[in-house]
Amino acid sequence: MVPEFPRIDEEVEVTELEEYSGGSAANYTVGVARLGIRVGFIGKIGNDAYGQKLKTDFLREKVDISQLKIANTHSGTCLIPIDLNGNRQIFSFRGANAILEPEDIDDTYIKQAELLYITSPPIEVATFAAELAQENKVLLSYDPGGKVIRKGLQFIEPVLYNTNIFLPSKSELALLFPQSKEPKAAALHLIETYDIQIVAAKLGAQGSLIVTKDDAIHVKGFKVPVVDTTGAGDSFAAAFTVGIYKQWDLLRCAQFANAAGAIKVMRMGARTALPTLKEIKTFLAKNKNNKQYNK
Ligand code: ADP
């Protein structure tokens, strides 16, 4: 926390300092673990105190870390100063994440999985893992996030060709298709071009739009007081893919995932606020009349 952002050559006093384990992929993994599903993390950390903390936090959440590689460098780190008005800046250092290589991926680990979720490793790693998943009939869900999506459709194409479930946000769909205003049309285009089975578009407070070749359902968001939206997408993705893994129908998956997103935004923090299975069940029971959708 800072009173204001410094200008060039200026110094400001940091008034509060907090340290959290984070990263979209790691938060997703913890989200799945809290829903009671066996899950592992494939990635690289540095041999520093941040890496050690990430590892300890994974272990506490019962995440399998057998595929967590440690490199002789710094761990990926983000520095996020927030001013008194809640504005933030993000300084993102990829660190060990940037040197994850296809050679770091253990084929057998992916082959025995039910579902693989890819965020934003180096694109050659994403492509390698996606092809491996497809060859071995492992369901692949892909959520590269805004920074990768800004590089354009062509950049993520090699992964999209192997994707079963794509999880963009509304603004990311708009970045991919600046000429099409409509998320449904954009989703259908992706489905037809890349043979994707499900596009689950995250619409913030408006909920989610689930599109398949034959159907489109808009499942309205739950009306909740918003405290912090950081990590809502990861919470949604964890719950949605857990629903798919449990072979629920798409409406149930979307309602479950909207609930996971809504619970997250009511609480502070990207990682700490991720709900457990029990919390989602209780929330859904209390909000029965709020489960609206349009076909
Ligand atoms: P991202 O974090 O990837 O930008 P969203 O902001 O769309 O994704 O949030 C993911 C999901 O969390 C949404 O699809 C919705 O289900 C839920 N959600 C997000 N913001 C709100 C909100 N203000 N009220 C209720 N639900 C929300």
Integer Cα distance of 60 and 73 in angstroms: 24
Integer Cα distance of 294 and 272 in angstroms: 32
Average pLDDT over residues 120-137: 97
pTM of the full predicted structure? 0.95
Higher pLDDT, 154 or 295: 154
* Centroid of ligand 1 to alpha carbon of 295 (angstroms): 20
Q: Give the confidence band of 249 by pLDDT, cuts at 50, 70, 90.
A: very high
For residue 126, the SS3 value is helix
Whole-number Cα distances in Å, 141 to 116, 174, 226, 290: 6, 20, 27, 27
- Phi, psi torsion values for 27, nearest 5 degrees: -65, -40
Average pLDDT over residues 171-196: 94
For the CA of 259, the nearest atom of ligand 1 = 16
* Centroid of ligand 1 to alpha carbon of 257 (angstroms): 9
Average pLDDT over residues 33-62: 97
Question: Taking the mean position of all CA atoms in its chain, how far away is CA 146?
Answer: 11
Domains in the chain: boundaries: 24-287
For residue 198, the SS3 value is strand
Average pLDDT, the chain: 95
- Determine which residue's CA is closest to atom 6 belonging to ligand 1: 204
Please say if the pLDDT value at position 254 is more than 80.
yes
Please say if the pLDDT value at position 291 is more than 80.
no
Which protein residues are within 6 Å of ligand 1, measured from CB? 169, 202-205, 207-208, 221-222, 224, 226, 229, 232-233, 236, 258, 261-262, 265
**CATH number at 24-287:** 3.40.1190.20
Strand partners, 210: 200, 217
Strand partners, 199: 166, 211
